[in-house]
Structure 1
Amino acid sequence: MRKQLTVNADAIGQAALRAGSCAGADAFLLVGPFMQPINNPWNSLEIVKLVLGVLTPLSVACLGWLVARRLKRLELVQWTNQRLIEKRLALYDAVAPQLNALLCFYTWIGYWKDISPDDVIRAKRELDRTFHIYRYLFDDDVYDAYHTYIHALFDMHTGPGRDARIRSLIQAPDGDRSVHGSYEWKPAWSDRFATANVVPKGDVLRHYTQLMERLRVALGATR
């Protein structure tokens, strides 16, 4: 009986050993593949390559968009400046002859004999209208120079509803407007002159030159 128990025990032990061996083998086979190290430097390098591969095209696209946007703005600024210069040049073509006519009349030079008092008043009205309408297309120094020039030529304080008076002489060492003019003199024109506070010809020329210099700078013209 004892021998039989011993044999059974041995058999059970051997079976257990065989079962344990198989279970251990299976466990090793199942666990083995999951035991590889996860901190492999080659895996990190591949991730970096992948990230760079995605970011590089995006960076290039963003840079291209920013450059294109900047160029578009520059083109718009250049176009706007060009249009502004063209408009200023058109205004210069309109006012320059009138400003010069006033200079000739007040300094008794050039074609002053062909400029009547009516022409002078008309030129002032048109110049005032132009400079007031387009004042903000120019820098303030342009309007200030015009304001100084026109106030040197006219007496503005003549009363409500009355035209400004011409600050010049009718008869002067340079000539007589009522006689030497190419137009027919009208006696009523005498009231249009303010002969008490006449600005010297040198000051008239100086104010005119300053105004024309300001206009030249506004046009971007160099001498």
Structure 2
Amino acid sequence: MAAGNWTWLELAKLLAQSFTPIALVILGLFVQRALKRFEHKQWRNQKLIERKLQVYDKLAPLFNTLLCYYTFVGTWKEHSPADIIKLKREIDGLVHLNKPLFEKEFSEAAEAFEAICFEMYTGMGKDARLRTFRNDHNEGYRGAWEASWDECYSNDPVDPPLVRIAYDRVIAAMVDEIRGPDQRPAASPHPKTLWRFRPPRKGEVKVPT
């Protein structure tokens, strides 16, 4: 059927030729916006990784100091109980401040590591007690031992191998965060079962595993 001197086929070809440049422009704008969103996401992820690296640089040495103190290696003779309690406060502050940056696996691993090392909830206004062997630290400390430090220790010391396990898991949790989900191992090296190593809190019933 003809429309004047034009056939419907010719009209269709003309419309197609007219819409093709418009479609290409729209497609180009869509691709450009998608690329910008991707670049912004990449930039944001990079900044997040940089921030996590900064946190790692601050926390890893503190965790390592705890490991040395509780496993009697490295610099353990140089630290008093007061130093370790002060160290715990510093770790608590850094973990709490940067908690929104990390997945819950890290905060859980950090909490489990501290629960291995310290007896918490010892009374209102009282410091946590160190779950390690007082006599060994008393004899090994290179400075002048203060009698008041004897009260800084728990009556439930933890075996050094458990401290090593908890330390490895909290460090692995931080490294996993920096790697990103695409580079994490299939089997997590810091399972949530670590909670069973810590002492029960007030009102909490531990279920045997």
List aligned pairs for 1:153-168, cutoff 5 A: 153-168=117-132
Match for 1:198: what amino acid? Answer: P
1:205 counterpart residue number? 164
Alignment coverage as a number of residue pairs: 182
Greater C-alpha Rg: 1
Structure 1's unaligned 5+ residue stretches are 1-36
Query: Within 2, Cα distance between the matches of 1:145 and 1:137?
Result: 15
Match of 1:33 in 2: none
- CA RMSD between the two structures: 1.9
Higher RCO structure, 1 or 2 (CA under 8 Å, sep 6+): 2
Give the share of equivalent positions with the same residue, in percent. Answer: 35
Give the alignment partner of residue 179 of structure 1, picking from 117, 139, 142. 139
CA distance in 2 between partners of 1:215 and 1:38 (Å): 73
Residues 146-205 of structure 1 deviation map (CA, whole Å, 9 limit, x = unaligned): 11110111111211111111111122xxxx3223222221111111111x2111111111
1:76 matched to 2:43? The reply is: no
Please, what TM-score do these two structures have when normalized by structure 2?
0.82
Conservation of the 8 A alpha-carbon contact between 1:152 and 1:199: yes
Q: Whole-Å Cα distance in 1 between the matches of residues 21 and 143 of structure 2?
A: 79
Cα pair 1:101 1:115 within 8 Å, conserved: no
Unaligned regions of 5+ residues in structure 2, if any?
186-209
Q: Which residue of 2 aligns with 1:108?
A: 72
Query: For residue 119 of structure 1, what is the aligned residue in structure 2?
Result: 83
CA contact (8 A) 2:2 2:8 kept: no
The residue type equivalent to 1:192 in the other structure is: C
**Partner SS state of residue 161, structure 1:** coil
More helix by share: 1
Q: Decide whether aligned partners of structure 1 residues 113 and 48 sit closer, same or farther in structure 2, where only a CA change above 3 A counts.
A: same
Conserved 8 A contact 1:168-1:199: yes
Retained in 2: the 8 A contact 1:148–1:207? Answer: yes
Runs of 4+ in structure 1 deviating by more than 6 angstroms, as ranges, are none
Contact 2:99–2:107 under 8 Å retained in 1: yes
The one-letter amino acid of 2:176's match is V
CA distance in 2 between counterparts of 1:209 and 1:161 reads 31
Q: 1:185–1:44: structure 2 CA closer, same or farther, 3 Å change rule?
A: same
Shift of residue 41, structure 1, vs aligned partner: 8.4
